[in-house]
Structure 1
Amino acid sequence: MGENAGSSLPKDILDQLFAYSRSTSLADALEVLAKISRTADGRADLASKSVIALILDLIQGHSGCLNSALLVSSLKLLRSLCAGEVVNQDTFIEKNGVGITLTVLRALMRTPALDCGAVRIALQALANVSLAGERHQQTIWVQFFPNEFLTLARIRSQDTVDPLCMILYTCQDGNPVCLAELCGDHGLSVVSEIARTASIVGFRAEWFKLLLSVICLDKAHLPTLFAKVAVAPADDSKDVQMVCDEFSSEQAFLVSIVSEILNERLNDVTVSNEFALYILGLFRKASGFVDFSERGKLGLPTGSSPIDVLGYTLTMLRDICAQDGARGSTENAQDTTGKLLSSGLLDWLLNLLRELEPPTMIRKAINQGQHQGNADSEQLKQCPYKGFRRDIVAVIGNCLYQRRSVQDEVRCKGGVTLLMQQCVTDEDNPYLREWGIWTVRNLFEGNAENQQAVAELELWGTVNTPEIAELGLRVELDQKTGRPKLVNSA
């Protein structure tokens, strides 16, 4: 593109732009018109003068005469003109604004030093047009999907992530055809490249999360997307499988964002049983990759891909199990929590909890000879990140909520004492005490057998804690029998 606005620019276009802006240079005219277009009344006035058609004609036929600054100014004006003004949005489509913008984007991407800011502005103009309705969305989709979107997704710049996600999300929203294509192999390849870019450079707006929410939660395509963002993805076959023996940083990033989305949408999204079981499978797989021999010094994210996948899948299991309880779906073997439990979730978590080194307060009691498990302390696992024990307890607590069968199973598996041990503060597990109290409350609620099991425990220092007292319970020594008993402290 030329360095200066040459004399070959059409006089009729320049004269109209100068007249509308009361300027004598193209640079000044574009700047003045951009300021006018910042208000709804200004955009409407410029729409009545067909300014957007003038700018599109200017870019289409004479881009070689526009230097980079003038081109960017022209794109900014297009972006502003299409911000909620229907007449301008319609004119953009009728005057082939999508094709003209695509030509500009291709030219920009051929330049040795890519101007990501200019790309962003062009995409923002398209994003504004996409908000106008199905005809506008379809016009963009047909010309950009999948190859142009894929090329744009591979620009590793934060500037491009948000507007690109906005376009994709808006075009599929309410459009089953675009949604189906987005969820197909080509569409998921585009989204995987966006996720890879976001994992490297980050993102600012919510469009990326909205897009992932549709793909991963509403349509349950996380398994395919997770495989596609691997460092060494599978071949082009449709049956994509995870082929690496470790997790990539991109995969850990993807799981972290999906976990965040699920937590934010607890009240308005329902995950499928297949999604939940896939998360459980990822958690188990990550457990096999993580080295539990060293105590983690960081909370999530830790920077270790296996540990982050382990932690974020665990928090997703916590939230999935919370959903059923919040919706009153308890004691239902067919709900999502029921499916997870029938797949061994409780056994897995109780075993992990037993294998972990106890909290600091319990370790001190053990060292004093009050209680000792079967494993030597040096063989016990460490929490790989701060909060790992808390997250395990949280999942168990949510599974216990108003589920008599789970209460009984914990007791039969000898887990009552184990869970009571979690009602303590622990510097390596923030909020462990709060989650422990919630879990023990759910363990005892309406279950006389579990309450009696506590009364039959030998009295050792860690049973009577201030935290247990907050439940309205305490353990006393029966003067007649010499055995501990559970009493109501109220």
Structure 2
Amino acid sequence: MAASTDSALEISASVAGILNEKHSPEHLQLLKTLTAELREKYYRDAVEEEVFSNLLKVLTSLREELQAADADGEDLRLQLQLTAECFRAQRNSCVQSPRNQSLLRELGFIDVSLKILSFFLTFNVASKDAVFEPLRCGVQFLGNLAVGNQTCKDDIWQLSFPDLLLQLLSVEDEKTVNYASMVLHTCLDEARVEDLSKPQNIKLALRVMELCMTQPDLDWTVIIATQHFLRSSALVESMYSGMSHQERVTLLELLFAQLREEGSDECGIPPSVARFLASSFQQGCGAVLSLATGSASSDEVLQEALTVISLLDVLCEMTSDHKQFMFLQDHPGLLVTTVELLEQVHAIGKASKNIFSAAQNFSSLSIDDDSSSHSPVISFKAHLIRLIGNLCHSNTNNQNKVRELEGIPLILDNCNIDSNNPFISQWAIFAVRNLLEHNTQNQELVAALERRGAADYSALKELGFLVEERDGSLLLKPVRKDS
């Protein structure tokens, strides 16, 4: 179906007429008619360049009028409505139309639109809501202009990165922020993500991560973080160093979720990120110990400890059936740090009643409870044991190292059920299995512990396992139901 030539000419002439008359509600209705026509594909495909040229003249004129306007003037509201409608028409014209995208770019719409948006961000008007409407429409236009059009992406990026994009993501209007996030996502590529890691640009990346924490329902920011940010080790390291501990926890939660997604062998997280996180865990893990002494009275100390706990969770997931991260078994000092931390936590918990002490209060784990009332170190000791087990899987050097660090009796001493560490018994059994597998020296050590009564196997038996010596080797086997 072809657009009526007479109708197209009439609209074009009417748009041009706005420039020569005092603004009126009739002009707003005229632009709304153009917006409605541009929703139809047949009109978008047939619209003449002259219509866009006249629309750009109207938009440019409105920009000049707004800059000179009185913030309390009577004409301001109509000027803002007219600007919003121009943006709507521009937005609609770009839908599934590479031809119109290129045409609007060539005519200069990007530069004028960005200058108007920049002006709105500093416009001191009594009612911010009046500015939000054209602001939203203008950002939507940029998003539609950029979709599938690399040249438009390049121009938008060049003219808005990083300051204007950062300002748009900081507007006190959720819809504007969401649309700006979509524009950022559309324009990003591998090289631009690397640009974000530079000191002068890092604030933009940090703002995206802040939005992931404070407004998790904004899907675009989460998509940006998982599909772009987590794939760059340079950016992850730059962001991490500039983040609060609370923001680091958000980053680590996104990493954890990415690792757990189906098909996670292609999660896109580079090995260098895993190395960085392992080193960060080693450097900061002592912060958790402060939780037992009461020295964690400040929120900052608590958040630092929670960061360590989140790092441990990510490392456990990375070393669980993710072949691309199993090089962490050889990460310098990681296993030693984990065993020593387990030893410290276990000793502190036994020395006096504190946050690391074993408990039998299973009612506190009710799914109806408010999770905020739970201990911040729930499962921490269990996850330390899990990480040790992962790092020792089919790795003789690490098996031997745990024995030399006297970690085997330590793990066996954690086979008892503990409500502060759900599944700690199962993780201990898992770790023991990995420590004993094809390792005669470790098997002999456990056998000697049993003969001396130094290890209590009753908990293992209650869980359905039996430690049995056979032909000089120690086996961990299920107990028969009738035994």
- Please confirm whether the aligned pair reaches a TM-score higher than 0.5, indicating the same fold: yes
Name the SS for the 1:94 alignment partner.
helix
Counterpart in 1 of 2:119?
A: 107
Alpha carbons 1:216, 1:222 under 8 Å: kept: yes
Residues 1:338 and 1:164: Cα distance change in structure 2 (over 3 Å): farther
1:210 aligns with 2:224: yes
For residues 253 and 349 of structure 2, the distance between their equivalents in structure 1, rounded to whole angstroms, comes to 35
State the alpha-carbon separation in 1 of the partners of residues 478 and 329 from structure 2: 31
Letter in 1 for 2:163: N
**What are the equivalent positions in structure 2 for 1:98-177 lying under 5 Å apart?**
98-112=110-124, 113-114=127-128, 115-116=131-132, 118-155=134-171, 157-173=173-189, 176=191
Residue 97 of structure 1 is aligned with which of 101, 105, 109?
109
The Cα shift of 1:93 comes to: 1.0
Kindly indicate whether the alpha-carbon contact (under 8 Å) linking 1:390 and 1:432 is maintained by their aligned counterparts in 2: yes
> Which residue, out of 70, 88, 92, partners 2:100?
88
- 2:397 paired residue number: 405
Which residue number corresponds to residue 4 of structure 2? none
Residue 353 of structure 1, aligned match among 328, 331, 342: 342
For residues 31 and 465 of structure 1, the distance between their equivalents in structure 2, rounded to whole angstroms, comes to 77
Q: Pick from 278, 281, 304: which aligns with 1:280?
A: 278
Is 2:57 the partner of 1:60? no
Contact 1:161/1:198 (<8 A) preserved: no
Give the 3 Å change call, closer, same or farther, for CA 475–152 of structure 1 in structure 2. same
Distance in 1 (alpha carbons) for counterparts of 2:250 and 2:243: 10
Q: Is 1:460 paired with 2:456?
A: yes
Instruction: Give unpaired runs (5+ residues) of structure 1.
Output: 1-9, 18-23, 231-246, 296-300, 359-372, 479-483
Q: Contact 1:421–1:463 (CA<8 Å) still a contact in 2? A: no
What is the identity, as a one-letter code, of the residue corresponding to 1:61?
Answer: S
Question: Residue 265 of structure 2 corresponds to which residue in structure 1?
Answer: 267
Alignment of 1:468-487 (within 5 A): 469=464, 473-475=465-467
Deviation at 1:474, TM superposition (A): 0.7
Secondary structure in structure 1 of the residue aligned to 2:292? coil
Q: Give the structure-1-normalised TM-score.
A: 0.70
Change (3 A) 1:70 1:432: farther
Is the Cα contact below 8 Å between 1:213 and 1:261 reproduced in 2? no
Identity of aligned residues (%): 19
Q: CA contact under 8 A between 2:392 and 2:398: conserved in structure 1? A: yes
Identify which range, 444-453 or 29-38, moves more after superposition.
29-38
Give the corresponding residue for 2:234. Answer: 220
Once the 2 structures are TM-superposed, how far is the Cα of residue 129 of structure 1 from its aligned partner? 1.7
Using the alignment, how far apart are the partners of 1:35 and 1:267 within structure 2?
47
Whether the 8 Å CA contact 2:211–2:221 is kept in 1: the answer is no
Is 1:187 paired with 2:201? Answer: yes
C-alpha spacing 1:140/1:486, structure 2 compared with 1 (3 Å): closer
- Post-superposition Cα deviations, 1:164-201, rounded to whole Å, max 9, x if no partner, equal 33333332326x4x455333333323222333454444
* Aligned partners of 1:120 and 1:159 also within 8 Å: yes
Aligned to 2:254, which of 249, 257, 276? 257
Is the aligned partner of 1:442 residue 2:434? yes
Per the TM alignment, residue 271 of structure 1 is displaced from its structure 2 partner at its CA by: 4.8
SS at structure 1 position matched to 2:377: coil
Q: Which moved more, 1:401-410 or 1:150-159?
A: 150-159
1:293 aligned partner: 292
Q: Give a deviation string over 1:70-109, Cα, whole Å, max 9, x none.
A: 4334433433332332222222212222112212212211
Q: Distance in 2 between matches of 1:95 and 1:166?
A: 24
Q: Relative to 1, partners in 2 of residues 1:219 and 1:157: Cα closer, same or farther, differing over 3 Å?
A: farther
- Deviation (angstroms), 1:162: 3.6
Structure-2 change in CA distance of 1:474 and 1:180 (3 Å): closer
Question: Residues of 2 paired with 1:454 and 1:131: CA distance?
Answer: 63
- 3-state SS, counterpart of residue 99 of structure 2: helix
Task: Between 375-384 and 197-206, report the one with greater CA deviation.
Answer: 375-384
Distance 1:125 1:352, change over 3 A: same
- 1:130 CA drift (Å): 1.6
Structure 1 CA distance for aligned equivalents of residues 477 and 205 of structure 2: 57
Q: 1:455·1:486 contact (CA, 8 Å) conserved in 2? A: no
Contact 2:392 2:399 in 1 (8 A): yes
Counterparts of 1:156 and 1:312 in 2: how far apart (Å)? 30
User: Structure 1: how far apart are the matches of 2:227 and 2:211?
Assistant: 17
TM (normalized to structure 2)?
A: 0.71
Cα distance change, pair 80–455 in 1 and its aligned pair in 2 (3 A): farther
- Match of residue 371 from structure 2: none
When the two chains are superposed, the root-mean-square deviation of aligned CA atoms in Å is 4.0
- For the Cα contact (< 8 Å) 1:212–1:258, is it kept in 2? yes
Shift of 1:150: 3.3
Query: In 2, Cα distance between the equivalents of 1:401 and 1:441?
Result: 9
In 1, the alpha carbon distance for the partners of 2:108 and 2:417 equals 64
Residue 475 of structure 1: SS of its match in structure 2? strand
User: CA distance change for structure 1 residues 416 and 53 in 2, over 3 Å: closer, same or farther?
Assistant: farther
Distance 1:396 1:157, change over 3 A: farther
Contact 2:84 2:135 survives alignment (8 Å): no
Name the amino acid aligned to 1:171.
Answer: C
For 1:189-222, what per-residue CA distance to the aligned partner results, in whole angstroms no more than 9, with x for missing partners? 3222333454444451144443465344334322
After TM superposition, give the deviation of residue 426 of structure 1 in Å: 3.8
- Cα–Cα, structure 1 residues 43 and 426, in superposed 2: closer, same or farther, change >3 Å? farther
Unaligned runs of 5+ in 2: 1-10, 19-24, 66-74, 358-374
Give 1:49's aligned residue.
47
> Quick one: distance in 2 between partners of 1:222 and 1:99?
32
Aligned to 1:315: 313
Q: Distance in 1 between matches of 2:42 and 2:377?
A: 56
Greater fraction of residues in helix: 2
